[in-house]
Amino acid sequence: MLMNMYWIFMIFIFLSGAWVFCSKRKHLLAGLLSLEFIVLILFFGLFNYLGLFNYELFFSMIFLTFSVCEGALGLAILVSMIRTHGNDFFQSFMVLQC
């Protein structure tokens, strides 16, 4: 019973992170933070799932490495956008601009 409540809680947290990602379209930083929140919840779920069946936890380290690379790439995009446009608003960023 307690394990089912834990998985329901994990799914609720994941869906709340996805809702924040879909609703916050004004700033790039808010979107990146919600993506990192989703990745963190997926990591905890993967870690618990692999630990539940006594599998190797090496895949969770690979997942964590890829999530760190994704975070660094998002931060680099944020810094370059702030340097070129002065802020992280999506309204000030034009797709047709070179």
Asked whether residue 93 is domain-assigned, the answer is: no
pTM summary value: 0.81
The enclosing domain of 42 has a CATH number of: 1.10.287.3510
Asked whether residue 8 is domain-assigned, the answer is: yes
Asked whether residue 92 is domain-assigned, the answer is: no
CA distance 74 to 11: 25
Percent of the chain's residues with pLDDT above 70: 91
Q: Which domain holds residue 40?
A: 2-85
Asked whether residue 54 is domain-assigned, the answer is: yes
Burial 37-47 (b: 16+ CB within 10 A, else e): bbbebeeebeb
Write out residues in the chain with pLDDT < 50, as ranges.
none
**DSSP character at residue 88:** -
Phi, psi torsion values for 97, nearest 5 degrees: -80, 135
Asked whether residue 95 is domain-assigned, the answer is: no
Asked whether residue 94 is domain-assigned, the answer is: no
Reported as a single tens digit per residue, the pLDDT across 68-96 is: 999 999 999 888 888 887 887 777 666 55
Number of domains in the chain: 1
